[in-house]
Copies of this chain bind each other. A is one copy, B any other.
């Protein structure tokens, strides 16, 4: 993590390479990919300090099959960020509105390591569109609860959020989206 922060600081996100970071840390590049999911995962964890590995989240939320995805995503998201502290989410949002590189890294990670793998589990059509729809709801939940503090949602318990918001994610992932498919 220290090596990653140093290399990203010196070279910037786009010019940093896993090879350089691995060399600095004195480890094999393949190990860095295995541990952190490559450059995007390393940046989000080491620099943006996202308090989890996106690949662990995918494994956890998909463990109970397609029909429990909505519930598991909301529960995991809320318990993780409630536990980490809302300030961490605010810092993340501030970094992506301030540094284009932070935005690029987070978008790549959200799409490639989180929502697309989750959407692909269902075998539904349009996993790319479904993944981005899930992103809207999850990001908006985080913004409303941790950044904007919109009540009563900001103080609602996790079961209320699961009951009300999980059906949205479930629909985005497994139901007919009501659009022509190509």
- Neighbouring B residues of A152 by C-beta, 8 Å: 128-129, 132
A148-B96, A160-B179, A179-B160 as given contacts; A153 in contact with B135, CB under 8 Å:
yes
Q: Does A139 contact B (CB under 8 A)?
A: yes
| Complex contact A144–B153 (CB within 8 A) | no
* A6 contacts chain B at the CB level, 8 A cutoff: no
- Are A139 and B132 closer than 8 Å at their CB atoms? no
- Which of B96, B111, B135 touches A140 (beta carbons < 8 Å)? B135
Copies in the complex: 2
Assess the A144–B164 pair: CB atoms within 8 A: no
Q: Which of A129-182 contact B (CB under 8 A)?
A: 129, 132-133, 135-141, 143-145, 147-154, 156, 160, 163-165, 167-168, 171-172, 177-179
Is the C-beta of A59 less than 8 angstroms from some C-beta in chain B?
no
Instruction: Identify the 9 closest CB pairs spanning chains A and B, nearest first.
Output: A140-B140, A132-B153, A136-B140, A94-B97, A136-B144, A139-B140, A163-B178, A132-B150, A163-B179
**Residues of chain A whose beta carbon lies under 8 Å from any beta carbon of chain B:** 90, 93-94, 96-98, 103, 106-107, 110-111, 128-129, 132-133, 135-141, 143-145, 147-154, 156, 160, 163-165, 167-168, 171-172, 177-179
Interface pairs (15), CB distance under 8 Å:
A96-B147, A103-B148, A107-B148, A128-B151, A129-B156, A129-B160, A135-B153, A136-B141, A136-B150, A137-B140, A139-B139, A143-B143, A164-B172, A164-B179, A168-B171
